[in-house]
Amino acid sequence: MFSYTVMPGFSDSDALGHINNTRLPVWFENARDPIFKIFTPEYNLKVWPLILARITVDFQQQIYLDAEIEVKTTMMKIGNSSFTIKQQAWQNGQCAATGEATMVHFDYQTKKTIRISDEIREQLEQHFEH
The site for a copy of itself (CB under 8 A) is made up of 7, 9-11, 13-18, 20-23, 25-26, 29-30, 33, 43, 45, 48, 51-59, 65-66, 108
> CB of 52: closest distance to a copy of itself in angstroms?
5
Distance, in Å, from the CA atom of 105 to the CA atom of 46, rounded to the nearest integer, reads: 15
Of 70 and 121, CB closest to a copy of itself: 70
> CB of 130: closest distance to a copy of itself in angstroms?
26
Strand partners, 51: 104
> CB of 118: closest distance to a copy of itself in angstroms?
26
Alpha helices in the chain (DSSP H): 23-31, 33-39, 118-125
Of 61 and 74, CB closest to a copy of itself: 61
